Amino acid sequence: MATPRQLPIGIQTFRKIREEVLYYVDKTGMAVDLIEAGGCFLLSRPRRFGKSLFLDTLKELFEGSRGLFTGLAAEDRWDWSAKHPVIRISFAGGQAFSRDDLNGWVNRQLEDVEKAHGLPARAADPRGRLHQLIQSLHRQTGQRVVVLVDEYDKPIVDNLSEPGLARQLRDTLRDLYAVLKDADAHLKFIFLTGVSKFSKVSLFPGLNQLEDLTLEPRWSALCGYTLNDLETVFAPGLDGVDLETVRR
């Protein structure tokens, strides 16, 4: 039996998992399938279910990090000559206690993207800044932009015990996500993850192309592990393990 690898516990970075040769269940074929399906997608799953890792995998694909995909399903299916600029916004790593907190959180992440591409900030509010950044990246690279949002609903979910604040943060996020509808001509792909399922009307007004994958059987294994994954990918570390107990 092969020597067991280390488990990627708590690691949300695709590059780190691949460069440190940790256990990895290959989701890259499904990632390519999803991208080829095209459009704007939403996926809700519990926390610590691999959503952030999947988003990071999408980011590395679109940015053309070919070396990370050696031996994986996407290696021979992806057009590595076309690299797309990626805007990734994550709400996973903190908590917003006010509208200003939330705006600052978004602005800092957009600033990181601006600096990475040598672009100036032309707007102070996150909505205008995101819209201008999408247009600027499209002009600069000649490629349409990818937007990835991790834990799109966390600022609201964290504050459900304070309904007034939760509504303020919901309205702020709704204004931000409305940019994606207005910038459709400049966008290649949109993917949002979260832990809840807010209605399209309350949080995504006008984003009619948003497709909810949460309960779609075809995409059920997009995140997380199946029993077959355990029995194959993790086989070297399962010597003596009672899989029936694991299944229960």
Nearest to 78 by CA among 91, 90, 66: 66
Which pLDDT belongs to residue 61?
A: 97
Q: How confident is the model at residue 248 (pLDDT cuts 50, 70, 90)?
A: confident
Which pLDDT belongs to residue 243?
A: 86
Which pLDDT belongs to residue 199?
A: 58
- CB 210 within 8 Å of CB 161: no
Amino acid identity, position 14: F
Q: What angle do CA 150, 155, 161 make, to 5 degrees?
A: 145
Joined tokens for residue 38: 């095209």
d(CA 114, CA 134): 10
Per CATH, is 26-224 categorized as 3.90.470?
Answer: no
Which pLDDT belongs to residue 202?
A: 67
- CB 43 within 8 Å of CB 211: no
Compute φ and ψ for 68, nearest 5 degrees.
Answer: -75, -15
The strand pairing partners of 114, in sequence order, are none
Whole-model pTM?
Answer: 0.92
Alpha helix ranges (H) inside 81-192: 99-116, 126-141, 154-157, 163-182
Q: How confident is the model at residue 35 (pLDDT cuts 50, 70, 90)?
A: very high
Which pLDDT belongs to residue 240?
A: 87
Nearest to 175 by CA among 138, 122, 123: 123
Residue 99: pLDDT over 90: yes
Which pLDDT belongs to residue 207?
A: 67
The radius of gyration computed from the CA coordinates of the chain, to the nearest angstrom, equals 19
Chain center to CA of 150? 5
Joined tokens for residue 240: 């003596």
Residue 1: pLDDT over 70: no
d(CA 57, CA 48): 16
Joined tokens for residue 202: 């309350």
Domain layout of the chain by residue ranges: 26-224
The SS3 call for residue 42 is: strand
The pLDDT tens digits for 174-227 are 999 999 988 999 999 999 999 887 655 567 766 667 899 999 999 999 998 998
The pLDDT tens digits for 51-77 are 999 999 999 999 999 999 999 999 999
Of the listed ranges 36-40, 145-149, 202-206, the least confidently predicted one is 202-206
- Residue 142 or 46, more confident: 142
